[in-house]
Amino acid sequence: MRCRYANNQRKGREKLARLRRLKELIGRIGKAIAEHELVPFLTTPNPLLRGYRPADLLESDYSFEDLLAFVESAKSGDMA
């Protein structure tokens, strides 16, 4: 019973961390992507992200930093 409780706590913390990352990502994107284009952007594999969907990169701090760098590069027009 205790193991299941600890597992549920861990999953809850992971979900909360992903939601916090999503909130930060949306803030960083700002008006660069129209609201109606946000879900397709998040759920479509992107070759510039090594084929990952941006939503997949919300899973860890490490991959999230790559995603933020991608967004900042796209916003500045530096996608070379």
* One pLDDT digit (tens) per residue for the chain, 80 residues: 567 766 788 888 999 999 999 999 999 999 999 999 999 999 999 999 999 999 999 999 999 999 999 999 998 886 54
> What is the residue extent of each domain of the chain?
18-76
What is the rounded distance in angstroms from the CA atom of residue 24 to the CA atom of residue 51? 22
Supply 28's token pair: 């960083």
Q: Residue with structure tokens 């409780």?
A: 5
What is the rounded distance in angstroms from the CA atom of residue 4 to the CA atom of residue 11? 10
Instruction: Check: pTM over 0.85? Answer yes or no.
Output: no
